Amino acid sequence: AELDARRIADNPFTLGVASGDPQPTSVLLWTRLAPAPYEPGGGLPRQRVTVQWEVAHDARFRRVARRGTVTAHPEFSHTVHVEADHLLPGRTYWFRFRTGSWISETGRTRTAPQPVSRPGSLTLAAVSCQAYHDGYFTAYKHLAQDDVDVVFHLGDYLYEYAVNAVGGARNYTDRTLPAHFNKETKTLEDYRLRYALYKHDPDLRAAHAAHPFVVTWDDHETENNYADDISENDDPPAEFLLRRAAAYRAYWENQPLRRAQLPSGPDLQLYRRLTWGRLAQFDILDTRQYRSDQAYGDKAHVPGPESDDPARSITGATQERWLLDGWQRSNALWNVVPQQVAFSERRLDLNARAKLSMDAWDGYRASRNRVLAGAEAAGVDNLMVLTGDVHVAYAFDIKDDFDDPSSKNVGTEIVTTSVASGKDGADKPANWDTLTKANPHMKFYNGRRGYVTVTLDRDSALADYKTVPMITKPGAPISTAASFVTEAGNPGLHPA
């Protein structure tokens, strides 16, 4: 049955608008109808709703480029995913939705340049790890005002943990969150409601309305430190896959993802490739869904036969082959890999045989060696890995041999800090001295909240690490904590 949209009494566009995965002639537009976002079902009956959309060359919609009608289905919690096509390459567009008498806020998006073109530059932002209960999304408030072409979200968009009535560290005094948020997410309804809580945040809404996002997940969108069908607490795999299916479906529903990413049960192919003319190729990875179980448990451990077993993989064989094949065919100057967990070696102590993170690429060194060998074989001169997960900012030179500090640099890794996870943080975390001494290829380490912008051009890449001094109270200013540059054809980060 269809709901007459004129009967929707309250604004259904409470969760804002978003766009994503820009291609040369198309972009994905997203919204969700939810007049009561914190209620199961979003405050709508289980009926279809007709939604109109339009894309324009200007913010006042005087020159409309494309328009159409789409159905918001209750089976997909009244989310809308429009693949707006027949657009012009390398352009900025504005978009909005309408249903009944309600009109959404206006979003701004852009298309990628033509595949054969050589754009002068591209500015991207990288964000990750936004635990709602750890503080305000102040970083997004600033990012919404920043001049970037595209935002890469590197995972932990959502956390499965309980959020109490005052929003944890946000310490709300002007509102009380419903009790159903105060439990871990396990069911489809749990995950859907949690996305509503997050997406209702005004700073996150502002960032989505301002820029197209390219998203990938890490673990917390489903459950901490899971690996393929193995849960953190070793639940029976069949049981965990039901939870994973719920998490993956809610993820697709609530993100600006194309139909190609629509999940089938507990499976969703999130790894995909985007290009920015011949300036950059982006190979977006998924290092959760197909990985071998972490060696020696999930915690830090000295590497050994179990972690270094060449049969183990962090990407799975199919995705690894897809990545290396894509590099063989790449004609881009910069080959950028947006992904989740630390790629470079990260020694956690000063012992000769140091402990490493078994959840990161350090726990899958055979995977890393195969990927770096594949980059070399493909002649990738300008490899840049974008990383989240660790709630701190790092700048790494990727070494040919991490045991030899004088070995050549084969790429760079830009690790963005968290938007919120870890509360206010500190410029120098407690282990700053140890990690700085233990990792000479680490050029920067900062533990505040924030994000990174990277400007790629034909000569170099400039990374600006943006931080805010606090997030447990709203309204903090943003500043640039450090800037690094790496030259095209000569990898290695230097202070800018």
Report how far residue 256's alpha carbon sits from residue 236's, in angstroms, rounded to the nearest whole number: 32
Is residue 219 a contact partner of residue 156, using CB atoms and an 8 Å limit? yes
Does 122 lie in the same domain as 17? Answer: no
- The pLDDT profile of the chain, 496 residues, written as one tens digit per residue, is 999 999 999 999 999 999 999 999 999 999 999 999 999 999 999 999 999 999 999 999 999 999 999 999 999 999 999 999 999 999 999 999 999 999 999 999 999 999 999 999 999 999 999 999 999 999 999 999 999 999 999 999 999 999 999 999 999 999 999 999 999 999 999 999 999 999 999 999 999 999 999 999 999 999 999 999 999 999 999 999 999 999 999 999 999 999 999 999 999 999 999 999 999 999 999 999 999 999 998 899 999 999 999 999 999 999 999 999 999 999 999 999 999 999 999 999 999 999 999 999 999 999 999 999 999 999 999 999 999 999 999 999 999 999 999 999 999 999 999 999 999 999 999 999 999 999 999 999 999 999 999 999 999 999 999 999 999 999 999 999 999 999 999 999 999 9
Same domain, 343 and 392: yes
Torsions phi, psi for 481 (to 5 deg): -75, -30
Amino acid at position 78, single letter: H
Q: How many domains does the chain have?
A: 2
Written as six digits, the tokens of 278 are 């011949």
Based on the fold, state whether residues 431 and 341 are members of the same structural domain. yes
pTM: 0.99
Indicate the residue among 95, 111, 127 that finishes a domain: 111
User: Residue 31 belongs to what domain range?
Assistant: 1-111
State how far the Cα of 216 lies from the Cα of 313, in Å rounded to an integer: 18
Q: Which two tokens stand for residue 181?
A: 């948020």
19 and 135 inside one domain: no
Q: Is there a single domain that holds both residue 469 and residue 362? A: yes
Neighbours of 266 (CB within 10 A): 21
In this structure, are 121 and 107 located in the same domain? Answer: no
Q: Are residues 359 and 380 in the same domain?
A: yes
Same domain, 132 and 72: no
Residues 162 and 65 in one domain: no
Q: Are residue 224 and residue 75 in the same domain, yes or no? A: no
CATH value at residue 100:
2.60.40.380
Please indicate, yes or no, whether residues 272 and 306 belong to a single structural domain of this protein.
yes
The residue from 111, 135, 167 where one domain ends is 111
Boundary-marking domain end, from 82, 111, 140: 111
Three-class SS of the chain:
CECCHHHCCCCCCCCCEEEECCCCCCEEEEEECCCCCCCHHHHCCCCEEEEEEEEECCCCCCCEEEEEEEEECHHHCCEEEEEECCCCCCCEEEEEEEECCEECCCEEEECCCCCCCCCCEEEEEEECCCCHHHCCCHHHHHHHHCCCCEEEECCCCCCCCCCCCCCHHHCCCCCCCCHHHCCCCCCHHHHHHHHHHHHCCHHHHHHHHHCCEEECCCCCCCCCCCECCECCCCCCHHHHHHHHHHHHHHHHHHCCCCHHHCCECCECCCCEEEEECCCEEEEECCCCCCCCCCCCCCCCECCCCCCCCCCCCCCCHHHHHHHHHHHHHCCCCEEEEECCCCCCCCCCCCCCCCCECCCCHHHHHHHHHHHHHHHHHCCCCCEEEEECCCCCEEEEEEECCCCCCCCCEEEEEEECCCCCCCCCEECCCCCHHHHHHHCCCEEEEEEEEEEEEEEEECCEEEEEEEEECCCCCCCCCCEEEEEEEEECCEEEEEEC
- 61 and 139 both lie in a single domain: no
CATH code for position 201: 3.60.21.70
Q: How far apart are CA 214 and CA 329, in angstroms?
A: 22
